[in-house]
A and B are shown apart, each in its own frame.
Chain A
Amino acid sequence: MSVDTTVESFKGHRLAGWLDWLQMLTGLTLVCFLFAHMLFVGSVLLGAKSFDFVAAFFERTYLAQVGGPILFFLFLLHGFLGARKMPFRTKEQKLIVRHAKMMHHRDTWFWVIQAITGAILLVIASIHMWTVLSDLPITAAKGAHELETGLWLIFYLLLIIVGALHGCIGLYRIGVKWGVVTRAKRTKALKCIYYLIGVYVVVELLNLLRFYFLKV
Protein backbone atom coordinates (compact mmCIF):
# COMPACT_ATOMS: atom_id res chain seq x y z
CA MET A 1 0.00 0.00 0.00
CA SER A 2 1.37 3.41 -0.86
CA VAL A 3 1.37 6.08 1.79
CA ASP A 4 0.33 9.64 1.03
CA THR A 5 3.31 11.62 2.21
CA THR A 6 1.89 15.01 1.26
CA VAL A 7 -0.25 15.11 4.38
CA GLU A 8 1.44 17.50 6.73
CA SER A 9 -0.96 19.09 9.10
CA PHE A 10 -4.32 18.58 10.68
CA LYS A 11 -5.68 21.53 8.68
CA GLY A 12 -5.67 19.64 5.42
CA HIS A 13 -7.99 17.09 6.92
CA ARG A 14 -10.61 19.73 7.34
CA LEU A 15 -11.10 20.07 3.61
CA ALA A 16 -13.73 17.33 3.43
CA GLY A 17 -15.79 19.21 5.99
CA TRP A 18 -15.43 22.55 4.25
CA LEU A 19 -16.39 21.11 0.91
CA ASP A 20 -19.44 19.50 2.46
CA TRP A 21 -20.55 22.86 3.83
CA LEU A 22 -20.02 24.45 0.45
CA GLN A 23 -22.00 21.82 -1.37
CA MET A 24 -24.90 22.26 1.02
CA LEU A 25 -24.82 26.07 1.03
CA THR A 26 -24.47 26.48 -2.72
CA GLY A 27 -27.25 23.94 -3.19
CA LEU A 28 -29.52 25.76 -0.79
CA THR A 29 -28.85 29.11 -2.46
CA LEU A 30 -29.59 27.65 -5.86
CA VAL A 31 -32.88 26.11 -4.73
CA CYS A 32 -33.93 29.43 -3.23
CA PHE A 33 -33.05 31.11 -6.47
CA LEU A 34 -34.96 28.48 -8.44
CA PHE A 35 -38.15 29.38 -6.63
CA ALA A 36 -37.48 33.11 -6.70
CA HIS A 37 -36.93 32.72 -10.45
CA MET A 38 -40.28 30.98 -10.73
CA LEU A 39 -41.93 34.00 -9.10
CA PHE A 40 -40.06 36.60 -11.19
CA VAL A 41 -40.90 34.86 -14.40
CA GLY A 42 -44.39 34.35 -13.02
CA SER A 43 -44.93 38.07 -13.42
CA VAL A 44 -45.54 37.33 -17.10
CA LEU A 45 -48.84 35.76 -16.09
CA LEU A 46 -50.01 39.29 -15.36
CA GLY A 47 -48.89 40.43 -18.77
CA ALA A 48 -45.82 41.40 -20.74
CA LYS A 49 -45.74 44.82 -19.11
CA SER A 50 -45.36 43.54 -15.58
CA PHE A 51 -42.67 41.11 -16.69
CA ASP A 52 -40.72 43.90 -18.33
CA PHE A 53 -41.17 45.97 -15.22
CA VAL A 54 -39.68 43.28 -12.99
CA ALA A 55 -36.85 42.63 -15.44
CA ALA A 56 -36.06 46.34 -15.67
CA PHE A 57 -35.96 46.53 -11.90
CA PHE A 58 -33.25 43.85 -11.79
CA GLU A 59 -31.21 45.66 -14.38
CA ARG A 60 -31.60 49.09 -12.90
CA THR A 61 -30.37 47.78 -9.57
CA TYR A 62 -27.59 45.82 -11.32
CA LEU A 63 -28.88 42.65 -9.72
CA ALA A 64 -28.91 40.96 -13.09
CA GLN A 65 -25.49 42.17 -14.20
CA VAL A 66 -23.76 41.34 -10.91
CA GLY A 67 -25.98 38.74 -9.30
CA GLY A 68 -26.25 36.78 -12.53
CA PRO A 69 -22.55 35.99 -12.90
CA ILE A 70 -22.24 35.29 -9.16
CA LEU A 71 -25.06 32.83 -9.46
CA PHE A 72 -23.42 31.30 -12.49
CA PHE A 73 -20.25 30.87 -10.48
CA LEU A 74 -22.12 29.26 -7.55
CA PHE A 75 -23.82 27.00 -10.03
CA LEU A 76 -20.53 25.82 -11.50
CA LEU A 77 -19.02 25.43 -8.04
CA HIS A 78 -22.00 23.35 -6.95
CA GLY A 79 -21.64 21.22 -10.06
CA PHE A 80 -17.97 20.68 -9.34
CA LEU A 81 -18.61 19.75 -5.71
CA GLY A 82 -21.38 17.39 -6.73
CA ALA A 83 -19.11 15.76 -9.26
CA ARG A 84 -16.81 14.67 -6.46
CA LYS A 85 -19.48 12.22 -5.38
CA MET A 86 -20.35 11.07 -8.88
CA PRO A 87 -19.49 7.66 -10.15
CA PHE A 88 -17.27 8.42 -13.11
CA ARG A 89 -15.99 4.97 -13.79
CA THR A 90 -18.39 2.79 -15.73
CA LYS A 91 -17.81 0.05 -13.20
CA GLU A 92 -19.16 2.27 -10.44
CA GLN A 93 -22.05 3.49 -12.58
CA LYS A 94 -23.10 -0.05 -13.34
CA LEU A 95 -22.74 -0.96 -9.70
CA ILE A 96 -24.94 1.81 -8.39
CA VAL A 97 -27.67 1.17 -10.96
CA ARG A 98 -27.55 -2.56 -10.25
CA HIS A 99 -27.69 -1.72 -6.58
CA ALA A 100 -30.68 0.57 -6.98
CA LYS A 101 -32.44 -2.12 -9.01
CA MET A 102 -31.64 -4.78 -6.46
CA MET A 103 -32.95 -2.72 -3.57
CA HIS A 104 -36.10 -1.30 -5.24
CA HIS A 105 -35.49 1.51 -2.85
CA ARG A 106 -36.83 5.01 -3.29
CA ASP A 107 -34.02 7.01 -1.76
CA THR A 108 -31.37 5.13 -3.68
CA TRP A 109 -33.22 5.93 -6.93
CA PHE A 110 -33.43 9.54 -5.78
CA TRP A 111 -29.70 9.65 -5.80
CA VAL A 112 -29.46 8.15 -9.26
CA ILE A 113 -31.96 10.79 -10.41
CA GLN A 114 -29.85 13.49 -8.73
CA ALA A 115 -26.71 12.36 -10.50
CA ILE A 116 -28.39 12.24 -13.91
CA THR A 117 -30.37 15.47 -13.58
CA GLY A 118 -27.28 17.17 -12.17
CA ALA A 119 -25.25 16.25 -15.22
CA ILE A 120 -28.01 17.39 -17.59
CA LEU A 121 -28.48 20.65 -15.71
CA LEU A 122 -24.81 21.44 -15.91
CA VAL A 123 -25.22 21.63 -19.66
CA ILE A 124 -28.69 23.03 -20.23
CA ALA A 125 -28.86 25.48 -17.34
CA SER A 126 -25.48 26.83 -18.46
CA ILE A 127 -26.90 27.42 -21.92
CA HIS A 128 -29.97 29.10 -20.45
CA MET A 129 -27.95 31.39 -18.20
CA TRP A 130 -25.58 32.22 -21.00
CA THR A 131 -28.26 33.13 -23.51
CA VAL A 132 -30.12 35.27 -20.99
CA LEU A 133 -27.16 37.04 -19.41
CA SER A 134 -25.20 37.66 -22.59
CA ASP A 135 -28.16 39.38 -24.19
CA LEU A 136 -29.49 41.84 -21.63
CA PRO A 137 -31.94 43.45 -21.22
CA ILE A 138 -34.42 40.69 -20.51
CA THR A 139 -37.78 41.44 -22.11
CA ALA A 140 -40.97 39.52 -22.58
CA ALA A 141 -40.78 40.09 -26.31
CA LYS A 142 -37.44 38.34 -26.56
CA GLY A 143 -38.74 35.41 -24.59
CA ALA A 144 -41.78 35.09 -26.78
CA HIS A 145 -39.70 35.45 -29.90
CA GLU A 146 -37.30 32.75 -28.78
CA LEU A 147 -40.12 30.29 -28.29
CA GLU A 148 -41.22 30.61 -31.90
CA THR A 149 -38.62 28.02 -32.68
CA GLY A 150 -40.03 24.75 -31.42
CA LEU A 151 -36.64 23.53 -30.28
CA TRP A 152 -36.52 26.11 -27.49
CA LEU A 153 -39.92 24.99 -26.29
CA ILE A 154 -38.58 21.47 -25.82
CA PHE A 155 -35.44 22.89 -24.27
CA TYR A 156 -37.41 24.80 -21.65
CA LEU A 157 -39.72 21.89 -20.97
CA LEU A 158 -36.69 19.78 -20.19
CA LEU A 159 -35.14 22.52 -18.10
CA ILE A 160 -38.28 22.91 -16.01
CA ILE A 161 -38.67 19.23 -15.27
CA VAL A 162 -35.02 18.50 -14.67
CA GLY A 163 -34.58 21.64 -12.59
CA ALA A 164 -37.63 20.88 -10.44
CA LEU A 165 -36.49 17.32 -9.77
CA HIS A 166 -32.92 18.20 -8.98
CA GLY A 167 -33.77 21.20 -6.82
CA CYS A 168 -36.56 19.64 -4.78
CA ILE A 169 -35.02 16.22 -4.29
CA GLY A 170 -31.79 18.00 -3.44
CA LEU A 171 -33.59 19.99 -0.78
CA TYR A 172 -34.95 16.80 0.77
CA ARG A 173 -31.54 15.18 0.66
CA ILE A 174 -29.88 18.13 2.35
CA GLY A 175 -32.48 17.82 5.09
CA VAL A 176 -31.78 14.14 5.53
CA LYS A 177 -28.02 14.40 5.41
CA TRP A 178 -27.84 17.24 7.90
CA GLY A 179 -30.28 15.66 10.28
CA VAL A 180 -33.07 18.21 9.86
CA VAL A 181 -35.35 15.62 8.34
CA THR A 182 -35.29 13.03 11.11
CA ARG A 183 -36.82 9.57 11.09
CA ALA A 184 -39.99 10.97 12.60
CA LYS A 185 -40.33 13.70 9.98
CA ARG A 186 -39.37 11.74 6.90
CA THR A 187 -42.81 10.85 5.52
CA LYS A 188 -44.05 14.38 5.97
CA ALA A 189 -40.94 15.86 4.38
CA LEU A 190 -41.33 13.63 1.36
CA LYS A 191 -44.91 14.75 0.91
CA CYS A 192 -43.83 18.39 1.04
CA ILE A 193 -41.17 17.70 -1.56
CA TYR A 194 -43.67 16.09 -3.94
CA TYR A 195 -45.95 19.09 -3.56
CA LEU A 196 -43.03 21.42 -4.13
CA ILE A 197 -42.10 19.64 -7.36
CA GLY A 198 -45.72 19.84 -8.45
CA VAL A 199 -46.07 23.54 -7.69
CA TYR A 200 -42.84 24.41 -9.45
CA VAL A 201 -43.62 22.44 -12.58
CA VAL A 202 -47.18 23.75 -12.84
CA VAL A 203 -46.24 27.40 -12.36
CA GLU A 204 -43.28 27.27 -14.72
CA LEU A 205 -45.38 25.44 -17.32
CA LEU A 206 -47.97 28.17 -17.09
CA ASN A 207 -45.22 30.74 -17.49
CA LEU A 208 -43.93 28.92 -20.52
CA LEU A 209 -47.35 28.67 -22.12
CA ARG A 210 -47.99 32.35 -21.43
CA PHE A 211 -44.78 33.22 -23.21
CA TYR A 212 -45.65 30.92 -26.05
CA PHE A 213 -48.97 32.62 -26.68
CA LEU A 214 -47.70 36.11 -25.94
CA LYS A 215 -48.45 38.57 -28.69
CA VAL A 216 -45.94 41.40 -28.77
Chain B
Amino acid sequence: MSRTLHFEIFRYNPMDPDSKPHMQTYYLEEKDNMTLFLALNEIRETQDPSLQFDFVCRAAVCGSCAMVINGRPGLACKTKTKDLPDKIVLHPLPVFKLIGDLSVDTGTWFRGVAKKIEAWVHTTKTFDPNALEERMDNDLANEIFELDRCIECGCCIAACGTARMREDFLGAATINKIARFYIDPRDERTDEEYFEVIGTDEGVFGCMGLLGCEDVCPKQIPLQDQLGIMRRKMAIASLGGKVGKLFSVFSKKKK
Protein backbone atom coordinates (compact mmCIF):
# COMPACT_ATOMS: atom_id res chain seq x y z
CA MET B 1 0.00 0.00 0.00
CA SER B 2 2.36 2.62 -1.20
CA ARG B 3 1.59 6.30 -0.91
CA THR B 4 2.17 9.01 -3.42
CA LEU B 5 4.32 11.60 -1.72
CA HIS B 6 3.71 15.23 -2.47
CA PHE B 7 6.92 17.24 -2.31
CA GLU B 8 7.08 21.01 -2.12
CA ILE B 9 10.70 22.00 -2.61
CA PHE B 10 12.29 25.41 -2.36
CA ARG B 11 13.98 26.39 -5.61
CA TYR B 12 16.35 29.26 -6.17
CA ASN B 13 19.66 29.60 -7.91
CA PRO B 14 21.47 32.72 -6.73
CA MET B 15 23.92 32.40 -9.64
CA ASP B 16 21.15 32.75 -12.20
CA PRO B 17 19.86 36.33 -12.49
CA ASP B 18 16.54 35.07 -13.90
CA SER B 19 15.91 32.74 -10.98
CA LYS B 20 13.43 33.77 -8.29
CA PRO B 21 12.81 31.96 -4.99
CA HIS B 22 9.74 29.76 -5.37
CA MET B 23 8.33 26.42 -4.30
CA GLN B 24 8.17 23.60 -6.83
CA THR B 25 5.93 20.55 -6.63
CA TYR B 26 6.98 16.96 -7.31
CA TYR B 27 5.15 13.68 -6.85
CA LEU B 28 6.84 10.41 -6.06
CA GLU B 29 5.73 6.86 -5.25
CA GLU B 30 6.90 5.92 -1.79
CA LYS B 31 9.04 2.79 -1.52
CA ASP B 32 9.87 0.56 1.44
CA ASN B 33 12.49 2.03 3.77
CA MET B 34 12.67 5.18 1.72
CA THR B 35 14.69 8.00 3.20
CA LEU B 36 14.59 11.58 2.03
CA PHE B 37 18.04 10.92 0.60
CA LEU B 38 16.64 8.20 -1.64
CA ALA B 39 13.57 10.22 -2.52
CA LEU B 40 15.51 13.32 -3.55
CA ASN B 41 17.92 11.28 -5.63
CA GLU B 42 15.03 9.60 -7.40
CA ILE B 43 13.46 12.96 -8.13
CA ARG B 44 16.73 14.23 -9.51
CA GLU B 45 17.29 11.12 -11.63
CA THR B 46 13.82 10.73 -13.01
CA GLN B 47 12.22 14.16 -12.92
CA ASP B 48 14.54 17.12 -12.55
CA PRO B 49 18.30 16.95 -13.01
CA SER B 50 18.66 20.62 -12.05
CA LEU B 51 17.63 20.07 -8.41
CA GLN B 52 20.51 20.93 -6.06
CA PHE B 53 21.08 19.25 -2.69
CA ASP B 54 24.04 17.81 -0.77
CA PHE B 55 24.84 14.30 0.33
CA VAL B 56 28.03 12.48 1.08
CA CYS B 57 27.83 9.73 3.66
CA ARG B 58 24.07 8.99 3.61
CA ALA B 59 24.57 7.58 7.12
CA ALA B 60 24.30 10.62 9.41
CA VAL B 61 28.03 11.11 9.84
CA CYS B 62 29.10 13.85 7.45
CA GLY B 63 26.45 16.45 8.24
CA SER B 64 26.05 17.72 4.70
CA CYS B 65 22.41 16.79 4.07
CA ALA B 66 20.78 18.98 6.73
CA MET B 67 17.68 20.83 5.53
CA VAL B 68 14.40 22.13 6.90
CA ILE B 69 11.92 19.25 6.73
CA ASN B 70 8.31 20.31 7.31
CA GLY B 71 9.57 23.22 9.36
CA ARG B 72 12.19 21.44 11.43
CA PRO B 73 15.89 21.26 10.63
CA GLY B 74 17.05 17.66 10.27
CA LEU B 75 19.23 15.27 8.27
CA ALA B 76 17.63 14.12 5.04
CA CYS B 77 19.55 10.85 5.05
CA LYS B 78 18.35 10.01 8.55
CA THR B 79 14.72 10.89 7.91
CA LYS B 80 12.45 8.08 6.76
CA THR B 81 9.54 9.10 4.56
CA LYS B 82 7.26 6.74 6.48
CA ASP B 83 7.64 9.03 9.50
CA LEU B 84 6.41 12.00 7.49
CA PRO B 85 2.93 12.97 6.31
CA ASP B 86 1.97 12.71 2.63
CA LYS B 87 3.00 16.26 2.04
CA ILE B 88 6.68 16.99 2.56
CA VAL B 89 7.91 20.59 2.45
CA LEU B 90 11.65 21.12 2.09
CA HIS B 91 13.63 24.31 2.58
CA PRO B 92 17.35 24.96 2.79
CA LEU B 93 18.74 25.73 6.26
CA PRO B 94 18.40 29.41 7.13
CA VAL B 95 21.34 31.41 8.56
CA PHE B 96 23.87 29.79 6.18
CA LYS B 97 24.80 31.01 2.74
CA LEU B 98 22.58 29.51 0.08
CA ILE B 99 24.38 27.74 -2.73
CA GLY B 100 21.21 26.77 -4.57
CA ASP B 101 17.87 25.08 -3.84
CA LEU B 102 18.46 22.89 -0.77
CA SER B 103 22.21 23.24 -0.73
CA VAL B 104 23.88 25.61 1.75
CA ASP B 105 27.44 26.38 2.75
CA THR B 106 27.83 25.42 6.41
CA GLY B 107 31.59 25.02 6.11
CA THR B 108 32.50 28.70 5.94
CA TRP B 109 30.27 29.48 8.91
CA PHE B 110 31.68 26.72 11.09
CA ARG B 111 35.23 27.63 10.13
CA GLY B 112 34.54 31.23 11.11
CA VAL B 113 33.29 30.40 14.59
CA ALA B 114 36.02 27.81 15.14
CA LYS B 115 38.58 30.54 14.48
CA LYS B 116 36.79 32.91 16.84
CA ILE B 117 36.81 30.46 19.74
CA GLU B 118 40.22 29.10 18.74
CA ALA B 119 38.95 25.56 18.59
CA TRP B 120 42.22 23.79 19.14
CA VAL B 121 44.15 22.59 22.17
CA HIS B 122 46.16 25.47 23.62
CA THR B 123 49.30 24.12 25.17
CA THR B 124 52.76 25.37 25.99
CA LYS B 125 54.25 21.91 25.69
CA THR B 126 56.25 21.25 22.57
CA PHE B 127 55.17 18.21 20.66
CA ASP B 128 57.60 15.33 20.68
CA PRO B 129 56.71 12.93 17.89
CA ASN B 130 58.82 10.17 19.43
CA ALA B 131 57.33 10.28 22.90
CA LEU B 132 54.57 7.95 24.00
CA GLU B 133 51.15 9.53 23.87
CA GLU B 134 49.96 10.83 27.23
CA ARG B 135 47.38 8.63 28.86
CA MET B 136 43.91 9.88 29.56
CA ASP B 137 41.38 8.58 32.03
CA ASN B 138 38.84 6.46 30.18
CA ASP B 139 35.77 8.22 31.62
CA LEU B 140 37.15 11.59 30.68
CA ALA B 141 37.99 10.40 27.19
CA ASN B 142 34.39 9.21 26.84
CA GLU B 143 33.09 12.51 28.12
CA ILE B 144 35.13 14.42 25.57
CA PHE B 145 34.11 12.05 22.84
CA GLU B 146 30.45 12.54 23.70
CA LEU B 147 30.81 16.24 22.86
CA ASP B 148 33.10 15.57 19.92
CA ARG B 149 30.38 13.60 18.14
CA CYS B 150 29.00 16.82 16.66
CA ILE B 151 28.99 16.53 12.86
CA GLU B 152 28.61 20.26 12.23
CA CYS B 153 25.43 19.74 10.27
CA GLY B 154 24.14 23.15 11.31
CA CYS B 155 20.66 22.00 12.40
CA CYS B 156 21.08 23.51 15.86
CA ILE B 157 22.07 26.85 14.36
CA ALA B 158 19.16 26.94 11.95
CA ALA B 159 16.78 25.98 14.76
CA CYS B 160 18.00 28.75 17.05
CA GLY B 161 15.89 31.89 17.24
CA THR B 162 18.83 33.81 18.63
CA ALA B 163 21.14 32.79 15.80
CA ARG B 164 18.51 33.90 13.31
CA MET B 165 18.07 37.30 14.93
CA ARG B 166 21.72 37.97 15.72
CA GLU B 167 24.20 37.18 13.03
CA ASP B 168 27.12 37.23 15.45
CA PHE B 169 25.67 34.66 17.86
CA LEU B 170 28.06 31.73 18.24
CA GLY B 171 25.38 29.06 18.47
CA ALA B 172 24.95 25.83 20.38
CA ALA B 173 27.41 23.70 18.39
CA THR B 174 30.12 26.27 19.02
CA ILE B 175 29.45 26.52 22.75
CA ASN B 176 29.41 22.74 22.86
CA LYS B 177 32.77 22.76 21.15
CA ILE B 178 34.21 25.16 23.72
CA ALA B 179 32.85 22.88 26.42
CA ARG B 180 34.78 20.06 24.79
CA PHE B 181 38.08 21.96 25.10
CA TYR B 182 37.12 23.18 28.54
CA ILE B 183 37.06 19.65 29.94
CA ASP B 184 40.15 18.60 27.99
CA PRO B 185 43.07 18.65 30.47
CA ARG B 186 45.54 19.20 27.63
CA ASP B 187 44.04 22.62 26.93
CA GLU B 188 45.75 25.01 29.31
CA ARG B 189 43.40 27.95 28.89
CA THR B 190 42.16 29.44 32.17
CA ASP B 191 38.57 30.32 33.04
CA GLU B 192 39.45 33.95 32.32
CA GLU B 193 40.68 33.10 28.86
CA TYR B 194 37.58 31.08 28.12
CA PHE B 195 35.54 33.96 29.42
CA GLU B 196 37.17 36.28 26.90
CA VAL B 197 35.97 33.99 24.14
CA ILE B 198 32.40 33.13 25.13
CA GLY B 199 31.51 35.28 28.16
CA THR B 200 29.65 37.73 25.98
CA ASP B 201 26.22 38.39 24.56
CA GLU B 202 27.39 36.71 21.37
CA GLY B 203 28.36 33.68 23.42
CA VAL B 204 26.72 31.96 26.39
CA PHE B 205 24.89 35.03 27.65
CA GLY B 206 23.23 35.55 24.30
CA CYS B 207 21.63 32.12 24.46
CA MET B 208 18.00 32.60 25.41
CA GLY B 209 17.39 28.98 26.32
CA LEU B 210 14.91 28.38 23.53
CA LEU B 211 16.17 24.81 23.19
CA GLY B 212 15.53 24.64 19.48
CA CYS B 213 19.06 23.30 19.26
CA GLU B 214 18.47 20.59 21.83
CA ASP B 215 15.27 19.46 20.17
CA VAL B 216 16.60 19.11 16.64
CA CYS B 217 20.18 17.88 17.04
CA PRO B 218 20.26 14.62 15.02
CA LYS B 219 23.19 13.34 17.07
CA GLN B 220 21.50 14.06 20.41
CA ILE B 221 24.50 16.01 21.60
CA PRO B 222 23.67 17.13 25.18
CA LEU B 223 23.36 20.78 24.13
CA GLN B 224 20.88 21.83 26.83
CA ASP B 225 23.14 20.52 29.57
CA GLN B 226 26.34 21.92 28.09
CA LEU B 227 24.83 25.37 27.56
CA GLY B 228 23.68 25.37 31.17
CA ILE B 229 27.06 24.28 32.48
CA MET B 230 28.98 26.83 30.42
CA ARG B 231 26.61 29.64 31.35
CA ARG B 232 27.11 28.86 35.02
CA LYS B 233 30.89 28.64 34.72
CA MET B 234 31.14 31.85 32.76
CA ALA B 235 28.71 33.68 35.04
CA ILE B 236 30.86 32.75 37.99
CA ALA B 237 34.00 33.80 36.13
CA SER B 238 32.35 37.16 35.41
CA LEU B 239 32.12 37.91 39.11
CA GLY B 240 35.90 38.06 39.22
CA GLY B 241 37.78 39.30 42.30
CA LYS B 242 36.77 38.17 45.74
CA VAL B 243 33.22 37.08 45.01
CA GLY B 244 34.44 34.97 42.13
CA LYS B 245 37.01 33.32 44.37
CA LEU B 246 34.27 32.45 46.79
CA PHE B 247 32.37 30.65 44.07
CA SER B 248 35.39 29.30 42.30
CA VAL B 249 35.33 26.23 44.52
CA PHE B 250 32.43 25.08 42.35
CA SER B 251 33.88 26.14 39.06
CA LYS B 252 37.62 25.42 39.18
CA LYS B 253 38.67 23.69 36.08
CA LYS B 254 39.84 20.22 36.96
CA LYS B 255 43.41 19.85 35.83
Instruction: Report yes or no: A107 in contact with B165, Cβ–Cβ below 8 A.
Output: no
A96 to B212, CA, bound (A): 12
> What band does the interface of chain A fall in when counting residues whose beta carbon is under 8 Å from B?
35 or more
Is B232 an interface residue, CB under 8 A from the partner? yes
Instruction: Report yes or no: A13 in contact with B205, Cβ–Cβ below 8 A.
Output: no
Instruction: Report yes or no: A178 in contact with B228, Cβ–Cβ below 8 A.
Output: yes
Q: List 29 A-B contacts (CB under 8 A).
A: A10-B196, A14-B195, A14-B239, A16-B200, A16-B201, A17-B195, A17-B234, A17-B235, A17-B237, A17-B238, A18-B239, A21-B239, A85-B208, A87-B165, A96-B161, A102-B68, A103-B72, A103-B212, A104-B71, A104-B72, A105-B72, A105-B215, A107-B215, A176-B224, A177-B227, A178-B232, A179-B228, A183-B222, A183-B224
A108 to B209, CA, bound (A): 9
**Interface positions of A from 82 to 97, Cβ below 8 Å from B:** 84-85, 87, 92, 95-96
Q: With a CB–CB cut-off of 8 A, which chain B residues contact A107? A: 209-212, 215
Q: With a CB–CB cut-off of 8 A, which chain A residues contact B215? A: 105, 107
A19 to B200, CA, bound (A): 10
Smallest CB gap from B199: residue in A: A17
Contact with A along B166-204 (1 / 0, CB 8 A): 000000000000000000000000001001100111000
Q: With a CB–CB cut-off of 8 A, which chain B residues contact A16? A: 199-201, 205, 238
Is A100 an interface residue, CB under 8 A from the partner? yes
Is B85 an interface residue, CB under 8 A from the partner? no
**Residues in chain A within 8 A of chain B (CB atoms):** 10-11, 13-14, 16-21, 84-85, 87, 92, 95-96, 99-105, 107-108, 110-111, 173, 176-183, 186
Q: With a CB–CB cut-off of 8 A, which chain B residues contact A180? A: 228
Is B207 an interface residue, CB under 8 A from the partner? yes
Secondary structure at the A interface, as helix, strand, loop or mixed, is: helix
**Residues in chain B within 8 A of chain A (CB atoms):** 68, 71-72, 94, 159, 161, 164-165, 192, 195-196, 199-201, 205, 207-212, 214-215, 222, 224-225, 227-229, 231-232, 234-235, 237-240
A182 to B222, CA, bound (A): 9
Q: With a CB–CB cut-off of 8 A, which chain A residues contact B208? A: 85, 111, 173, 177
From B165, B199, B227, B228, A14 is in contact (CB under 8 Å) with: B199
Given the known inter-chain contacts A95-B164, A96-B165, please indicate yes or no for A179 contacting B229, CB distance below 8 A. yes
Instruction: Report yes or no: B209 in contact with A177, Cβ–Cβ below 8 A.
Output: yes
From A13, A18, A19, B196 is in contact (CB under 8 Å) with: A13
| Nearest chain A CB to B229 CB, angstrom units | 5
A99 to B207, CA, bound (A): 16
From B68, B159, B205, A105 is in contact (CB under 8 Å) with: B159
Instruction: Report yes or no: B205 in contact with A14, Cβ–Cβ below 8 A.
Output: no
Q: With a CB–CB cut-off of 8 A, which chain B residues contact A104? A: 71-72
Q: With a CB–CB cut-off of 8 A, which chain A residues contact B209? A: 107, 111, 173, 176-177
